[in-house]
Structure formats: structure tokens, C-alpha cells
Structure 1
Amino acid sequence: MDAAQSLQQFIDETELYNDIVLGGLLPGSIWRPLPRPLQSWLRNYIGGTLLYLVSGFLWCFYIYYLKRNAYVPKGILLSPLRDSIPSYMAMKLQIIVAMKAMPLYCALPVVSEYMIESGWTKCFSTIAEIGWPMYIVYLAFYLVFCEFGIYWMHRELHDIKPLYKHLHATHHIYNKQNTLSPFAGLAFHPLDGILQALPHVICLFIIPTHFKTHISLLFCEAIWTANIHDCIHGRVWPVMGAGYHTIHHTTYRHNYGHYTIWMDWFFGTLRDPQDDFSKVE
């Protein structure tokens, strides 16, 4: 396959995504005349908004209504969940912050798609091009790179005071169990959210990356961030679950990591919820 055919595969794939999302919701006369980058942005905006709202509402319904008496966190999560459910107003304000940022959040995958379709990255379109063994190897490198990049981006948003004051503080007003909710997961200053997702894009220039996997992992961020802001400690090693992230929102100096605890362990910023549990048991 020559370079032109390879790039055309990326274009065909993004057009398929546009057909699925936009074609399923809007008349073609509205979105098909738009320039390709604007089509991609509209698709990401609609898809991202639906993913954020639907996953957030479903998870809130499950943990705050169906299972509201099942979880009794301890330690830093000392209060029973029924006494720590965030108010409707708190969740409404988180949704407003997230929705104000969503248009800019959705610009990042548009930029990455444009660079991929232009042949500037190391992306490949199908796993068959490299085989499953190398796909798994590259995916592992991709995930490690993103873990490292997001850890340090997040940490510097705390350590560099102007960045914290003007960007990251918007998210850290949610610093107690009764103010954190799944909707806080995307309640960031838009530039803050983009900076923390930026390692996913930088990675494209360094590590061969499967295009569909890259797009999927960007959207997985929305589900993951909802999960780690629900204050329920899953105790699944080495996952950086909500117990760890709630500690981050209370101390501001621990647990900067993303999917796993490894970067915090390696760089000395890990604080284990189990240690807090043991102090009160």
C-alpha cells in the first residue's frame, strides 16, 4: 500500500464516524456541506456531549439511587455515602463548567485527525499492517507514555502556581466528598483539559499508533474521569481508582496519576487509601 492509499484510509475512517454520528442525528443537508475539520468537530462535540451526559447520569443514578446504602467508605472517605451525596446544584454547576469547555475539548481530536490525515504522524490504519504482536507492543508503549505525560502535566499544573491559579483551580473547587461527583470529571478550565489530554497527541509523533485505538482512548477519558470522581474506592490494584483520586482532591499533593498508580509510586507521590482506612479501623 502506498502513502496516498494509507492516508485515504484515515479519511475514509473519519468519514465513516461522521456518517454514524452526524448522519444518525442530523440531516445531511446541514453537515455535509461543512468543511471536513468542522464536520469532525461537530461529530466530536455531539459524541462527547452525549457520552459525558449519558454516562454521568447513568452512573449517578446507579450509585446515588440504586446503591446509595451499599457503599460506606472509611478513612478519608469517612462519611456514609448517603450523607455525602453532592447536591443537585453542585452537579448542575459541574455540568455547566464542563459544557462551557466542551467546544474547546473537541478541538483537540480535530487537530490530531488533521495531522494524521496529512501524514505527519506515525499512525497506521489497520492492525494487519503491523500484526497483533507489534500492535500490543506499541499499545503498551503508548499507554506508558501517556501515563508519564499526564502525570507530569497534572503535577506541573499544581506546582507552577500561575497554572494552578488560572487553570487547574477551576477543577479543585470540588475538594470534598459531598462536592465530588461523576460530573466533576470534565469540569475543567478548557485549556487545563486540553493540556492533560495533550500527551495522547504528542505520542502520535513518537510511537506508531493505531488510529481507531487513539480515537477510542480519547473518548475513554470521559468515562474514566467520571469514574474516578465518584469517591468510591474500587480496590483494584494497580488501578488509580476513585479512592486515590479523592485523596488527590483533599491533599492536592498526592496521586497525580491517570489509569494506574505506578507513576506516583515511582516519583514518590503515592498515598494509598488503605493507609487511611487502617487509621480508623
Structure 2
Amino acid sequence: MDGGGGGDYLKLFVDETSFYNRIVLGSLMPAGTWESLPHPIQTWIRNYIGGTLVYFISGFLWCFFIYFLKRNVYVPKDEIPTKKAMLLQIYVAMKAMPWYSALPTVSEYMVENGWTRCISSISDVGWPAYLVYMSIYLVLVEFGIYWMHRELHDIKPLYKYLHATHHIYNKENTLSPFAGLAFHPLDGILQAVPHVIALFVVPTHFTTHVALLFLEGIWTANIHDCIHGKLWPVMGAGYHTIHHTTYRHNYGHYTIWMDWMFETLRDPMDDGSKKVM
């Protein structure tokens, strides 16, 4: 979607991503080390730095709050993961982070070149249409992530060679916010791909798309803390902990709707089972 302005309209996306690059790279790196680099490389470095900061800041703050400041309040002492387990999760996540950073870099390149239906400003469509479009976007993402996640379990080679890396964390005392991005790189990318596919289907506000991609980093930290927030219909950590112990329930993302529709929902309040793998 070019908003009727052709190349001039697409330049708005380039200007926006260049602005993000200047904010991040200009604040953390000497100008001479990045200004001469090709724009996509600048974007990848920015996404790598941004993703790493989101991962560590959200993980450390949440671990400090639930494991130390509120020790034994939300998580019993014998279910607090060891430092060794959390360091392993950080190691796996950081090995994958350069590859994770490639996905938003590619999606931004496609937006900048007019291959998607992105819009630069909410005023291009108006607030009512924006809310409708982003609602459709989120439904597509919910549907896509549910089925991508489910097939990563159901297709045995995908599970064995990709998703099993994440499922070594299958007990409360091995799950932590740092497990949120501890995936095989291709696994993590596949589960985020629905965000990119949606750009080709529905007019999507570009800034909102970028924000939602980085929100994933915070969300995945939250759903691996084993704390059941009891906020219906949110697919929170209580549901996701069941997924890590049964392997056959609660594949969903932000809400329970997809699991409810496809009969894979198990409610933490009704769950009395242990691991049944």
C-alpha cells in the first residue's frame, strides 16, 4: 500500500527506520563505526541491540522482582530455577539473537520497498479503520502462531531438530523469564513469521508492527515465569506452564481463543496432572 505517493510515500518508511537507527546506534556507538554502513546492516545492528536490551532488561527486572524482592510470594523456594539453568537459557537465547534480528530487518526492507500493505501514519486511514485493521492483524497473528507452534510439535522432525531445544525446560524449577527466547534460531523465527505474513494481508501501521515485534520479547519472558495471572482470556504463564509439562495443550499466544476453538485448551484451575510426555 503506497498511500498514493509512490516513491515519496515509501521514503517515509525509510526515514522512520533511519530515525530508529540514529536513536539506537547514535546513542551507543561512535558515528564513524556505523554511519557509512549500508542501511539494512544498520537496521540489523539496531534490531540486535534492541532485542538484546529488551531481553536482558525485562528478564533481569522480572527475575529480581519474583525471585528476590518477592521471594516465596509468587514462586515457592523449591520451584525457583537455579542460576545454572538461567545462564544456560541466556546462552541459548544469545546464540539465536543474531538470527532473530534478521526477521525484523527483512520485514522492514520489504516495507521500505513497497512489497507490503503497510501504512506510514494512522491518519492515512483514520482511527476507526486503524483499529479494525490492527484487530484483524492480531487475529491473523494469533491464528498463525497457534498453528506454527502446534505443527512444531506435531511434525516430528521439526520437534526433534528445532522445538525440542526449548522444551528441555519442562518443570517449574527449570522455567524462568530467560527461557522466553531460548529457542533454536529457526524455531524462534518461524513462530514470529505470522507477524510478517500479516503485513501482506491487511493494511498495517508500520510503527505498531515494530512495537508488537519487540513486545514479543517482553511477553515471552512473562509467560515463562510460572505465575498464573488469572486474567481471562489472556494466555498467561499458568497456561504456558501446562504446555511445558503436557506438550499437547495451550499452544496459543496472547489469548486462549485458538486453543478453545481447536480443543487443545487446558485451564490451570482445572489441571491436576503432571508431565505426561
Superposition TM-score tier, normalisation by shorter sequence: over 0.9
1:167 equivalenced with 2:162 (yes/no):
yes
In 2, Cα distance between equivalents of 1:65 and 1:142: 38
Question: How do 1:54-203 and structure 2 match up within 5 A?
Answer: 54-71=57-74, 81-203=76-198
Residue equivalent to 1:8: 11
Residue equivalent to 2:199: 204
Q: CA deviation at 1:154?
A: 0.1
Residue equivalent to 1:77: none
In 1, Cα distance between equivalents of 2:31 and 2:206: 25
SS at match of 1:124: coil
Residue equivalent to 1:19: 22
Residue deviations 1:207-230, cap 9 Å, x none?
A: 100000000000000000000000
Match of 1:274 among 244, 269, 273: 269
SS at match of 1:90: helix
Aligned residue type for 2:105: V
Residue equivalent to 1:47: 50
Residue equivalent to 1:262: 257
Q: Which runs of 5+ in 1 are unaligned?
A: 72-79
Q: CA deviation at 1:277?
A: 6.5
In 1, Cα distance between equivalents of 2:76 and 2:230: 17
In 2, Cα distance between equivalents of 1:214 and 1:187: 23
Residue deviations 1:234-274, cap 9 Å, x none?
A: 00000000000000000000000000000000000000001
Q: Which runs of 5+ in 2 are unaligned?
A: none
Aligned residue type for 1:3: G
In 2, Cα distance between equivalents of 1:141 and 1:117: 22
Aligned residue type for 2:224: H
In 2, Cα distance between equivalents of 1:179 and 1:96: 14
1:227 equivalenced with 2:222 (yes/no):
yes
Q: CA deviation at 1:68?
A: 1.4
- Identity %, equivalent residues: 73
Residue equivalent to 1:29: 32
Aligned residue type for 2:43: S
- TM normalised by structure 2 equals 0.96
Aligned residue type for 1:219: F
State how many pairs are aligned: 270
- Structure 1 runs of 4+ aligned residues shifted over 2 Å read none
Q: CA deviation at 1:69?
A: 2.3
- TM normalised by structure 1 equals 0.95
Alpha-carbon RMSD across the aligned residues, in angstroms, is 1.0
Q: CA deviation at 1:6?
A: 1.1
SS at match of 2:168: coil
